[in-house]
Each structure stands twice: as structure tokens, then as C-alpha cells.
Structure 1
Amino acid sequence: MTKSFSKSVEANARLHDLIPGGAHTYAKGEDQYPLEMAPVISHGRGSHVWDLDGNEYIEYGSGLRAVSLGHAHPKVLEAVRRELDRGSNFVRPSIVELEAAERFLASVPTADMVKFAKNGSDATTAAVKLARAVTGRPLIALCADHAFFSIDDWFIARTPMSAGIPEEIGGLTVGFPYGDLAATEELLIRHEGEIACLILEAATQQDPPAGYLEGLRDLAHRYGALLIFDEMITGFRFSAAGAQGLYGVTPDLSTFGKALGNGFAVSALAGRRELMERGGLRDSNERVFLLSTTHGAETHSLAAAIAVMDVYAEEGISARLHELGNKLAAGVREVADAAGVGDYVVVRGRPSNLVFGTLDENLAPSQPYRTLFLRELILGGVIGPSFVVSSALTDEDIAHTVEAVAQACVVYRKALDAGDPTAWVGGRPVKPVFRRHV
């Protein structure tokens, strides 16, 4: 299938001239897509987006998992428009701040208090700062198996893109493996009295091992540390009460974002009252400068969050995401098996949060084969770095996606038979986000 990308190619060049990396999020970078096939988006509606060249795509992983209800959702837009006519930011709190907090804590009843911000990094950094203040300890222990927690130094220092961060800061963060309580306890013993918190995603591609989250909470508390759940992805997408509600384990602090605003900029730090009050005006301990953001309480974003939470509750969105993901995964596996690539094109993860893996002849992850797969999907009218679904997808969308995957798998089989995907890659392969040099 032939598509023109000439307008996107031109726009990408202009983006690189004015914006470092050509995008405001590295995961949206041109290097994440096949050469000269990185569409620049004109607009989106529901589960579909259109690029500058007029190409239409079914979109997955919308807004890096943020747009779980689909683009331009009418109930969200109605709530936003209503607040825009009333003003968006004031010198004192708006009543919408109270309404949003009440609605959030009704949805996530395991937390006592909440504070809103604009992005996930601010919330996670506030959580670890609060943990350090409460415990008086310097070290942060993060789950080394999880991909991303923050743009701030305490996390980025541990990645290949640590330029500009003093080594001393990186030394204040240590890692523990997911699912291994013994190794985590060994870390806590080795740094006894120094670790302020354990921070992790409660689950990613698979449900946690039985008893793991409970055991991790007990370990943290036994050694005087706090337990923090990063719910940026799991919040609402796994359940309306987040992973903590789904798995029945309450952390001391948790952070939310992404699906909370359906594309509008809002994040949240939530947790136990006695901890959160350290950033308030009713606590006698030394004050913590917790979160203080000019735009953290923009009324239109908080109105969007209220509308999102209402839609999730009224329409059973978490269950619908699960159902759509199951249908998509079954279809993809069927056509991959039929093309003889079922061991090489794999679908993993909770149905509401699916990713795909592209493996080479030796069953090792392969960027060239990922490039081939992305290229064929784009030509077939499907775009996305994952198979993360939105509730706006229709049965027709799923069927179209499965057909596009089927065509891609035919090409994939040819490349495997040739022992080299180069002829089907179209230029340089896509690259991982975290790498030391371009």
C-alpha cells in the first residue's frame, strides 16, 4: 500500500530546527518510527488520528497511554468548555479544586489526601522528597525492572542519559528487582537506616506474584521505609481505584496521571493523611515544600479529570479496556501463528495495557524487526508504539488492526526466511529512547 509522508517529513525537519529532539517527549521522537515514516498529527477523534498528509490511522498507545477514552471525548470536552467560560486560574483556590479532590478520593478511597500537578515527574519527585523528609533518610530504592519514573535527577542518573547529573546524586538511588522479596530485604539490610522509600509500579506486563505486594509493604515498614506506588499507567487503566484497589494493597503514597485527564495535563500525589499533612499548614513538624505549581489547579484540566472519573464509573471503562485488549490479543496471536511467526511477533501484558515484542531468528528482541513491523502497520493504517487500547476502539477497528498485523506478519516471515530484515526496514532501524549517544 502506498502512502505519502512528504508533509510530515517537511514538518519533522522544522520541528528539529526549533525543538531539541523534534518533540517534547523522547518517546514521541522521530527515531521511534521508521525513516521518513514518522507522521506529524493534524487531529484525532475517537480511536483515529490523521496526519498532515491526510493519512488516517487507528491509533494505539494514545498520548503515551494518556487518552484512554479516545480523542475529543464529548463528555470531557463539555466539562472543559464549561470551566473555560468561568476562568482558568485564580489567585486563590477554585471550588473546582475541592470538587476534583473529593471526586478523586472517592475513586481512590485508599488515600486520605491528594494534591494535583501537571505531569507525572512532579508527582513522583514530590513523593520521594516527602519520604525523605518523613524518614530523615537519603536513599531512594526504585524497582530496577521498571522503565521510567521521572525526568528528575534521582531517576535519570541511573539511565544511559545521565549527562549533566553529578555522580553523587546517582549514588543516592539504588535498585531492587521486581518480585524478589529476598533480594529486596538484602538491599534494605545492606543500607539499613538509609533507605527512605521503595518506589515501583505495582504491576506491568503480568500480575504480581501472589503475596508479593503485601510482602513488599511489610518489608518496607519493617525497615522503616515508605512504600510508593507509581500508578501513572495502572491508575484507572487497571481499575478505577488503581492497582492498589485491584490488588488490595495500600501504599503509603501513590502517584497518578496519564488516564486521569484523557489528554489534559493533570497528575496527582495521594497518600496517608499524616504524611501528606507535612506539606500543609496543620502539621507541627518541619515543613516540606511538597508541590507548588502555578498551573497545577487549572480549572479546565481538573474539570476534565472529574469528567474522566465519572465516565469510568458510569460506563465501566476499565472492564471495556480489558475486553478490547483480549479481543485484539487473540486476533494478533491467531494471524501471527497462521503466518508462522507466532514465536517472533508476541503480545504481552494485561489486556488493558498490551505491548508487542518483535524477536529475531534467535528469539532475541530486535530493533530492525520492530522497524519492519511498525512500517507495515503504518502502511496498513495502524500506528502506535504498543497495542495499548482506548475505549473508543470499535469491533471494526480491531478487525482492521488484525488484518494489518496479518499482512505485516507475511512480510515478517519473508525476512525471517531471508535471515535478514534489512530489505524491509527502509533505512536506519528505530532506536531505544535511553542511549548515551544519538
Structure 2
Amino acid sequence: MADEEFSLPRSRAANERLHAMIPGGAHTYAKGDDQYPERLAPVISHGRGAHVWDVDGNRYIEYGSGLRSVSLGHAHPRVTEAVRREIDRGSNFVRPSIVEADAAERFLATVPTAEMVKFAKNGSDATTAAVRLARAVTGRQRVAICGDHPFFSVDDWFIGTTPMSAGIPESTNALTVSFPYGDLAATDDLLTRYRDEVACLILEPASHTEPPPGYLAGLRELADRHGCVLVFDEMITGFRWSEAGAQGLYDVTPDLSTFGKALGNGFAVSALAGRRALMERGGLRHSAERVFLLSTTHGAETHSLAAAMAVQTVYVEEGVTARLHALGERLAAGVRDAAASMGVGDHVVVRGRASNLVFGTLDVDGQPSQRYRTLFLRRLLAGGVLAPSFVVSSALDDADIDRTVDVVAQACAVYRKALDAGDPTPWLAGRPVKPVFRRLV
């Protein structure tokens, strides 16, 4: 369908309903309609495998499913069957379920660098618990975050560092400092400047770039030397880099680590894991001051833990991590070839590990451009590709990848026209898409 003919009247009406009742029209800012071209933000009806359907009846090949959480594809049969079995047995009780022990044993076998684990429902619960625990065991207040990584938590200790800091006391913001990824000397300087004040270093162990040789081991040494806790945020790297996360792939053991997203294939489950000496401070079998670590009414719902166990089984038995990398490599190569063939190889760029690809849209000067991103997204949507990123799920097949590359090639042809014109405005049909983190609406 040509872009000029493509419209989503039912999705537009549904978006109005959402905004009337839900601040932002979505429960995650990254899913907001401001992230999509104007009047072209599809509202989803259902999904299966690597495809989703909107309320207008359009089918899309989907990437970045569930903000990277649905890595096996929607309604994966082994996961949904495990969930159904537990739902029929009850989901939440006044005492722990035996499923909690089963799930903990399975997780610790999958991530052998950890000695204890506590489950929750979302990533922010886990990262904030890690920060609180680090502060408790060190007696220090400052938190050092990697400033090159986009998101750690909805809680004050992190959000206060972003442009969306309204409502957060400056006294809280002052306790969070940042260090650059890959620069051990700068991190050492930071820890020296705030000697005996930093409770923890928290970072994604890998992101759009591989860690420099020796970097993670160097951070481990710095944390030990300065007496702070090393926390790996493995929300994205967990399972996509290896079943045991980046720590398993790069053979560096953090004190604490947090997992989520792919752990439940869309079901709500996250995990805080780490060394027993630290984790037990949130328990009952120690003599030190107690730490209110994690205490969530729904944190151990049986069906979500069953989903997590099923996900781990599928990953191991079906070699999912390797499949994600193979699919990503095929997609990255196809997109790069398509962009180059249309003369925009320096403007539509693919970055990141094959299992976690993102794309950049650059203007005539080679600078990141939200306006060119808008043009690109419009053409992808019109071609039946829903892709805020190029993060793959294992449910994709070669035909999906080939179709995506064809649609990218068509989008790149229009991109070339806009570059030649020096202005993408005629192809936008509305306001540009916007960054999530901005001070004003």
C-alpha cells in the first residue's frame, strides 16, 4: 500500500480513548504515540509469533517486541502452556509456593555467577533494590551510574538525572553521579574524587558496542579497590548475549545483577541476583541491621515464574541465543546492502550486537535526525513493518527478514529523494517523532 493511502482510523480513535483515561496514552513512555509518525501509531489487537495485528486489521512484522521482552515471539506455545498449568492451580497464596523454590533453583543454575535471587515484577524494582542494598552494606549514599546508558529505573535516584526530573528533590539528584562507559581512568578519578562516598557502580555490561578488552574486569578491580558494589543491569543483555547474560559471556562476576525483559517472554517477572553475603542482608538469617529489599504482593505469582522457567528451558534446548544472533546478522547485512544500493548507506545505519540491533537515521550532515527517522518509520509502517528498532525475536523466519529488507529498500529510495531535496518535510505529513526524555511535552 502506498504511503499516501495508508491510514489508521481505528487506531487514531483508540489512541484518543487511551489519552482520555491514561496519562501519555500508554503505560510505558517508549510506547507513546509521540514515538511514531503523526496519525500512524498503531494500536495492537493481538500478536502471534513475530507478527502483530492492529485494530485496523493490518498485519506487521514486529521488531523490538514488548520493549525487547518477547524474544521467543508472541504466545509461544511452551510458555503459554506452562502458564496455563499454573493458573489452574492458583496464582498467589498467603505463604510461598513451591514454585518459588523451583524457579530460584532454575535461575541460579542458568546464572551460576549468582548465589541467591529474589523475583519481582519489573526492572525498576530490581535495580532500585540493588541500589538500596549497596547503600546499606557500604554505609555510603552516592550512586554512580554509567552516563552512556539510557535507562535504569523509574525511581528518583535515576530519573532525577534525566530531562524529565520534575517532582524529584535536588537533594536526591545530587547523590547520583555518572561515569563514562569504557573509560577506567575516568571512573577511577570519579571514585577518588568521591572517596568512600560511592555505594555502587551500576551499568549495562554491554550495549550498542562491545566492552573494550579488559574493561569489565577493570571495573571489577576498581570496585574492589574503592570498596563499592559492582551492579550489572542485565535487563537487555540477559539471554540476548547468553543465557547467563553478559557476565556469563565475558566471564566477569558482579556483586549484584538484575534481569527482566526476556526472562518472562512478555510475562511480568524480573530478578535481583548476587552474592549471598549481600543478598542475605535482605533476609532473616543475619545479625546486622535489616534491609527492606523487595516485598511485592505479586512478585512471585506462580504463572509468571512458570513462564520464566519455560523460557529458560526453551533457550537452552532450542539454542535461542544463537538463533537470535543468526537472524540479526542476516537482517543487518540485508539492511546495509539495501541502504547502500539506494545511496543512503551513510545515512541509514545499523548498530549493535546482532541480537540487539538498533538503527540510526542521519541527515545530510551525518547528524542524528528525528525528522528523517519519521520519514523512515512512515515508510516501514506502510510496508507492514513495525520497527522502532531492529531487535529480533526467534519467531522471525528468513521470509520475514527478506520482506523487511525489501520494505527497507523502498524506504531508502524515498530517503534518498529527501536527502537530494535537502528537506524531508514533504514526506513527513505531520510533526516529527520525539525523544522519550525531554523536559517539555
TM-score category, normalised to shorter length:
over 0.9
Inter-partner Cα distance in structure 1 for 2:7 and 2:217:
53
Q: Does 1:414 align with 2:417?
A: yes
Q: Does 1:435 align with 2:438?
A: yes
Q: Does 1:173 align with 2:180?
A: no
Aligned equivalent of 2:187: 184
- 1:326-405 aligned at under 5 Å gives the runs 326-405=329-408
Inter-partner Cα distance in structure 2 for 1:316 and 1:10:
42
Deviations 1:383-408 (A, max 9, x none): 02100000000110000000000000
SS in 2 for 1:229: strand
Inter-partner Cα distance in structure 1 for 2:195 and 2:392:
42
Q: Is the 8 A contact 1:140 1:173 kept in 2?
A: yes
SS in 2 for 1:293: coil
Match of 2:295 among 292, 295, 315: 292
SS in 2 for 1:72: coil
Counterpart AA for 1:138: Q
Q: Does 1:86 align with 2:81?
A: no
Match of 2:109 among 97, 106, 129: 106
Q: Is the 8 A contact 1:3 1:55 kept in 2?
A: no
Q: Is the 8 A contact 1:15 1:23 kept in 2?
A: yes
Aligned equivalent of 1:60: 63
Counterpart AA for 1:316: G
Inter-partner Cα distance in structure 2 for 1:221 and 1:38:
47
TM-superposed deviation, 1:4: 3.2
Q: Does 1:197 align with 2:181?
A: no
Match of 1:265 among 260, 268, 284: 268
TM-superposed deviation, 1:172: 0.5
Inter-partner Cα distance in structure 2 for 1:421 and 1:363:
14
TM-superposed deviation, 1:364: 0.2
The TM-score with structure 2 as length reference comes to: 0.99
Inter-partner Cα distance in structure 1 for 2:15 and 2:50:
23
Inter-partner Cα distance in structure 2 for 1:323 and 1:95:
37
Moved over 3 A (4+): none
Deviations 1:324-352 (A, max 9, x none): 00000000000100000000000000000
Aligned equivalent of 1:282: 285
Aligned equivalent of 1:31: 34
Aligned equivalent of 2:155: 152
Counterpart AA for 1:126: A
Inter-partner Cα distance in structure 2 for 1:371 and 1:295:
39
Deviations 1:275-330 (A, max 9, x none): 00000110111000000000000000000000000000000000000000000000
SS in 2 for 1:39: coil
Q: Is the 8 A contact 2:7 2:39 kept in 1?
A: no
Q: Does 1:322 align with 2:325?
A: yes
Inter-partner Cα distance in structure 2 for 1:315 and 1:206:
27
Counterpart AA for 1:170: N
Inter-partner Cα distance in structure 2 for 1:384 and 1:161:
25
TM-superposed deviation, 1:3: 2.9
Inter-partner Cα distance in structure 2 for 1:73 and 1:426:
37
Q: Is the 8 A contact 1:68 1:390 kept in 2?
A: yes
Counterpart AA for 2:337: E
Inter-partner Cα distance in structure 2 for 1:182 and 1:57:
46
The TM-score with structure 1 as length reference comes to: 1.00
Aligned equivalent of 2:25: 22
Inter-partner Cα distance in structure 2 for 1:37 and 1:293:
37
Aligned equivalent of 1:213: 216
TM-superposed deviation, 1:206: 1.5
Counterpart AA for 1:395: D
Inter-partner Cα distance in structure 1 for 2:210 and 2:413:
32
Inter-partner Cα distance in structure 1 for 2:24 and 2:38:
15
Aligned length: 438
Match of 2:165 among 162, 166, 181: 162
Match of 1:242 among 236, 242, 245: 245
SS in 2 for 1:43: strand
Counterpart AA for 1:127: A
| Ranges in structure 1 where 5+ consecutive residues have no aligned partner | none
Aligned equivalent of 1:308: 311
Identity of matched residues, %: 76
| Ranges in structure 2 where 5+ consecutive residues have no aligned partner | none
SS in 1 for 2:53: strand
Aligned equivalent of 2:44: 41
Match of 1:118 among 106, 113, 121: 121
Match of 2:257 among 254, 257, 269: 254
Aligned equivalent of 1:77: 80
